[in-house]
Amino acid sequence: MTAAQIRRYAERWKPWRSYALLHIWYTHGWQPSMDSEIAGIQ
């Protein structure tokens, strides 16, 4: 996919992204996975 195609595809989901975020926030016990390399954890 080209960058323009990705942008157009992402635009279709724009209204739903906030609902997805709320679902994640209110899911009991959810924690983000942590990439140790990015977090600087050895």
pLDDT number for residue 41? 63
Q: Return mean pLDDT, the chain.
A: 81
Report the pLDDT averaged over residues 3-27.
Answer: 88
Q: Quote helix, strand, coil % in the chain, to nearest 5.
A: 65, 0, 35
**Residues 19-33 pLDDT 10s:** 888 888 888 887 777
State the residue for tokens 């977090």: 39
C-alpha distances (whole Å) from 42 to each of 9, 32, 33, 36 are: 37, 18, 15, 7
What is the value of pTM for the model shown?
A: 0.41
List the domain boundaries for the chain. 1-37
CA distance 20 to 4: 24
Q: SS3 for 1?
A: coil
